[in-house]
């Protein structure tokens, strides 16, 4: 028997495959494709204290092996989520992690308080490149990462995962700041800030001009960052960024991730998380490993 | 649902416009006019995303769907190169589609490749006129002619029908109870105004760039008025068909 379960800073996942925030809505859309109880966990769309309409369209541009998005945190607000979306997610036997974003530290704290222990974990989104105020601004300096993590952690009744932005000079320094602030786990990476221009109209394709790059194009950057962070901190890591198949997922685990999140790949292949889960299990069996822990960070240098 | 569909035919109708017939009996069973298919053209990561293409005809007897598409970029160009007998990865039917009212006098108004989803409407309705606009090359006119009561054509270069825009050849919009339209934004905006002036109910199919196509990623926003307020709705699941009066084109 293979042990597929992993512990993410106190959140027990039956397997290491999650779905990434913003790419999986609140689960409903994908529930017609497979049983969501088979997932290790679901990280829901980024929530804010008040509902947000998000940015003007176009909000997506395709680039080689990737996409740029500038959704701008469109969401129905944390209270609507608790009343109308969470009961649906709770019908499934899978961990539910709330991704939260705000423009002040207080907003994050209020949200953490409202969520209480209704969810299995909270993912602190201090890395969204698509909103003017707050968002990524909190995620780019070690000092502010430490501060916000510490303050939210005080309000948090469930494990706190801090999601890191790759748009920084030294990811290790940021990871250490989150750890010192009290993070129970880290997830990385969020999208890389990018831009695409229509040469005929001479306008940016995104109405917001810039957006976050995701998909296979960012995978090598994400693997490198997971590897660097895994060496700098000793808390669990959820790795993501361009994971499209089980081989990609294994690469992240070898780099030091405890679990993986599938994002953009859901748009291309709704069954991607299930295929990845099956592939990881087969890899362990075929290579005679008994658990995820045996391959975690197990690269030969 | 996601299916590998067999390509029964993939042929050029006129320069850069193709028709592809797909064998997909399960999709056919659930399809209605105005819905779309989300197509992964090849297995590679480039182009990465699926491409949304409207259902143009539903052949319930043979279990086939036909789509009509224009080559405008990498994805559609690769699609044009696919051969009969090959398989293609399709999710569908997606979107809300048009609701048809058999007993009401109707018109379809289409511009360019926007005429594609109107074909199934005229095939299903018994009392429907068509107004079609093209830049230069025309396509699918025979099918419209045989399924419509009246067929009116405009071309920008004047090579067929009246010279100019399709909105200029609609003489008497108020004789219709319902109008169904699809085409460029400027055309849809004009039709919205025409129908509003004469109090004619009008449904339009909107295009927006998509990610997932099933309502999960929120990239396909369309501004919809609700009373004095507005919201972004999702073209992929709330649409692609909206009532013209609720769509805010001004933004
Ligand atoms: C609901 C819906 C129905 C459609 N029905 C048809 C149809 O029946 N026939 C047809 O020819 N075209 C249709 N389109 C437009 C079609 O999706 C685009 O022409 C196609 O995606 C272009 O892909 P490309 O790789 O050739 O072009 P590229 O410009 O290389 O595409 C780059 C990216 O932009 C997106 N994109 C580009 N143009 C459009 C557009 N107009 N709408 C949405 N996304 C776009 C592509 O999907 C891709 O992600 C429809 C679009 C929508 C939203
Ligand atoms: C359309 C879209 C919306 C996203 N929304 C959020 C969000 O609300 N909160 C967040 O923390 N990350 C968000 N992300 C980032 C993803 O969760 C993920 O970190 C990133 O896309 C990299 O993974 P991928 O390459 O597998 O998509 C979003 C990504 C996409 C593509
Ligand atoms: S394309 Fe993802 S929500 Fe519409």
Report d(CA B166, CA B134) in Å as an integer.
Answer: 8
User: Residue A140: is its pLDDT beyond 70?
Assistant: yes
Q: Where are the domains of chain B?
A: 2-94, 106-246
Residue A40 in any domain: the answer is yes
For B172-211, b where at least 16 C-beta lie within 10 A, e where not — what string?
ebeebebbbbbbbeebbbbbbebbeeeebbbbbbbbbbbb
Residue A22 in any domain: the answer is yes
Global pTM value:
0.96
Comparing alpha-carbon positions, the chain A residue that sits nearest to B48 is A65
Instruction: State the average pLDDT over residues A183-198.
Output: 97
Residue A60 in any domain: the answer is no
Residue A201 in any domain: the answer is no
Residue A141 in any domain: the answer is yes
Mutating to test ligand 1, I would choose from B21, B46, B53, B57 the residue with most ligand atoms within 8 A of its C-beta, which is B53
H-helix segments, chain B: 25-30, 74-80, 118-124, 141-147, 185-197
Closest CA to B40 of B94, B92, B90: B90
pLDDT tens figures, A150-187: 999 999 999 999 999 999 999 999 999 999 999 999 99
User: Residue A133: is its pLDDT beyond 60?
Assistant: no
Residue A227 in any domain: the answer is yes
- Give the nearest partner residue to A268 out of B49, B209, B220, using CB atoms: B49
Number of domains in chain A: 1
Q: Which residues of chain A make contact with B208, given a CB cutoff of 8 A? A: 57-58
Q: At what angle do helices A219-232 and A246-255 cross, to 10 degrees?
A: 30
Maximum distance among all Cα pairs of chain A, rounded to whole angstroms: 58
Instruction: State the average pLDDT over residues A90-108.
Output: 96
Residue A64 in any domain: the answer is no
Domain residues for A120?
6-55+73-196+213-294
Residues flanking ligand 2, CB < 6 Å: A 20-23, 45-46, 69, 71, 73, 99, 125, 128, 163, 190-191, 214-215, 218, 240-243, 262-265; B 211, 217, 219
A-B Cβ pairs (cutoff 8 Å, strict): 94
- Report the Cα–Cα distance between both ends of chain A, in Å, rounded: 29
The pLDDT mean for chain A works out to 95
Report d(CA A142, CA A250) in Å as an integer.
Answer: 29
Report pLDDT for A280. Answer: 98
Query: Ligand 1: distance of its center to the CA of B73 in Å?
Result: 9
Report pLDDT for B227. Answer: 87
Residue A100 in any domain: the answer is yes
DSSP letters along B151-206, please? EEEEETTSSSSEES-GGGG---GGG-SEEEEES-HHHHHHHHHHHHHTT-EEEEE-
Q: pLDDT tens digits for chain B (251 residues)?
A: 999 999 999 999 999 999 999 999 999 999 999 999 999 999 999 999 999 999 999 999 999 999 999 999 999 999 999 999 999 999 999 999 999 999 999 999 999 999 999 999 999 999 999 999 999 999 999 999 999 999 999 999 999 999 999 999 999 999 999 999 999 999 999 999 999 999 999 999 999 999 999 999 999 999 999 888 999 999 999 999 999 999 999 76
pLDDT tens figures, A49-79: 999 999 999 999 999 999 999 999 999 999 9
> What ipTM, to 2 d.p.?
0.95
pLDDT tens figures, A29-43: 999 999 999 999 999
Report d(CA A177, CA B205) in Å as an integer.
Answer: 50
Report d(CA A158, CA B2) in Å as an integer.
Answer: 37
Neighbours of A203 (CB within 10 A): 11
Ligand 3 nearest atom to the CA of residue B215, by list position = 3
Query: Ligand 2: distance of its center to the CA of A127 in Å?
Result: 10
CATH number at residue A231: 3.20.20.70
Percent of chain A whose predicted confidence (pLDDT) is above 70: 97
Let me know if A128 is a catalytic residue: yes
The owner of tokens 């500038």 is A70
Report d(CA B114, CA B186) in Å as an integer.
Answer: 12
Band of pLDDT at residue A137, cut at 50, 70 and 90: confident
Inter-chain contact B2–A53, Cβ cutoff 8 Å? Answer: no
Strand order in the sheet with B57-59: B51-54, B36-40, B87-94, B2-14, B17-23, B64-70, B57-59
Report d(CA A231, CA A172) in Å as an integer.
Answer: 8
Please state which CATH number belongs to domain B2-94: 2.40.30.10
Instruction: State the average pLDDT over residues A115-133.
Output: 84
pLDDT tens figures, A209-246: 999 999 999 999 999 999 999 999 999 999 999 999 99
CATH 3.40.50.1220 fits B106-246, yes or no: no
């Amino acid at each position: 028997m293979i042990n597929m379960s992993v512990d993410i800073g106190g959140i027990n996942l039956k397997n290491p495959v999650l779905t990434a925030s913003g790419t999986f809505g609140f689960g409903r859309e994908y529930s017609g494709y497979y049983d969501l109880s088979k997932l290790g966990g679901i990280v829901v769309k980024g929530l804010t204290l008040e509902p947000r309409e998000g940015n003007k369209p176009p909000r997506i541009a395709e680039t080689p092996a990737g996409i740029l998005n500038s959704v701008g945190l469109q969401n129905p607000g944390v209270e609507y989520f608790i009343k109308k979306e969470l009961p649906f997610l709770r019908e499934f036997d899978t961990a539910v992690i709330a991704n939260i974003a705000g423009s002040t530290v207080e907003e994050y704290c209020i949200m953490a308080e409202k969520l209480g222990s209704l969810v299995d974990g909270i993912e602190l989104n201090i890395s969204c490149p698509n909103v003017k105020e707050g968002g990524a601004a909190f995620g780019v300096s070690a000092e502010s990462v430490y501060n916000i993590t510490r303050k939210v952690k005080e309000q948090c009744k469930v494990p706190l995962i801090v999601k890191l932005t790759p748009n920084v000079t030294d990811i290790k320094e940021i990871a250490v700041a989150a750890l010192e602030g009290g993070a129970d786990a880290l997830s990385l990476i969020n999208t890389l800030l990018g831009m695409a221009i229509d040469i005929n109209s001479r306008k940016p394709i995104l109405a917001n001009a810039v957006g976050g790059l995701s998909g296979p194009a960012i995978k090598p950057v994400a693997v490198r960052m997971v590897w660097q962070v895994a060496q700098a901190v000793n808390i669990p890591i959820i790795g993501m960024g361009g994971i499209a198949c089980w081989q990609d997922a294994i690469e992240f685990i070898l780099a030091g991730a405890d679990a993986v999140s599938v994002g953009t790949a859901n748009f291309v292949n709704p069954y991607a998380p299930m295929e990845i889960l099956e592939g990881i299990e087969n890899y362990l069996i075929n290579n005679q490993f008994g658990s995820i822990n045996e391959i975690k960070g197990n690269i030969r240098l | 649902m996601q299916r590998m569909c067999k390509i029964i035919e993939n042929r050029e109708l006129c320069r850069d416009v193709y028709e592809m017939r797909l064998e997909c009996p399960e999709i056919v069973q659930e399809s209605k006019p105005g819905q779309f298919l989300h197509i992964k053209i090849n297995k590679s990561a480039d182009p990465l995303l699926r491409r949304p293409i409207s259902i143009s005809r539903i052949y319930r007897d043979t279990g086939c769907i036909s789509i009509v598409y224009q080559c405008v970029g990498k994805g559609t160009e690769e699609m044009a190169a696919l051969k009969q007998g090959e398989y293609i990865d399709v999710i569908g039917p997606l979107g809300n589609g048009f609701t048809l009212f058999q007993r009401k006098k109707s018109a379809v108004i289409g511009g360019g490749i926007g005429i594609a989803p109107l074909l199934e409407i005229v095939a299903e309705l018994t009392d429907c006129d068509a107004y079609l606009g093209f830049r230069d090359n025309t396509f699918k006119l025979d099918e419209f002619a045989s399924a419509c009561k009246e067929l009116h054509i405009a071309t920008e270069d004047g090579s067929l029908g009246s010279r100019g825009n399709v909105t200029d050849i609609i003489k008497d919009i108020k004789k219709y109870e319902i109008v169904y339209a699809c085409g460029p934004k400027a055309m849809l905006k004009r039709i919205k105004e025409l129908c509003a002036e004469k109090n004619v109910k009008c449904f339009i199919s909107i295009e927006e760039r998509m990610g997932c196509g099933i309502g999960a990623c929120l990239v396909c926003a369309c501004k919809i008025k609700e009373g004095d307020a507005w919201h972004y709705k999702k073209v992929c699941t709330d649409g692609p068909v909206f009532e013209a009066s609720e769509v805010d084109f001004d933004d």
